[in-house]
Amino acid sequence: MRFMVFVRSPKPMAALNGDALLRAGVLLDAGDLVPDALGVSGYWLIDVRDHEEAVERIRRIPLPACVVEIRQVAVV
């Protein structure tokens, strides 16, 4: 299953550590979104077994003062 992980951070996304997802072989894509009034946003597209695994992998990444949203991507 694929999940889009949106991260809103007070720091640039480059400062956040998504390397663990890459090393685990689950990271399909990553990028920064246009900054807005609430801060810097970015995303990770990951391919994992289920929602619980997605949540567990994201919990392992230090994301201080970040807002994280995980959504399943419909594959058609």
Model pLDDT for residues 31-59, shown as the tens digit of each residue = 888 777 667 888 999 999 999 999 999 99
Q: Which residues of 35-74 are buried (b: 16+ CB within 10 A; e: fewer)?
A: eeeeebbbbbbbbbeeeeebeebbeebebeebeeebeeee
Strand, coil or helix: 25: coil
What is this structure's pTM? 0.84
CATH 3.30.70.1060 correct for 2-73? yes
E-strand ranges in 1-76 read: 2-9, 27-36, 39-47, 67-73
pLDDT digits 0-9 by tens, 6-19: 998 876 655 466 78
Domain assignments of the chain as residue spans, ordered by start: 2-73
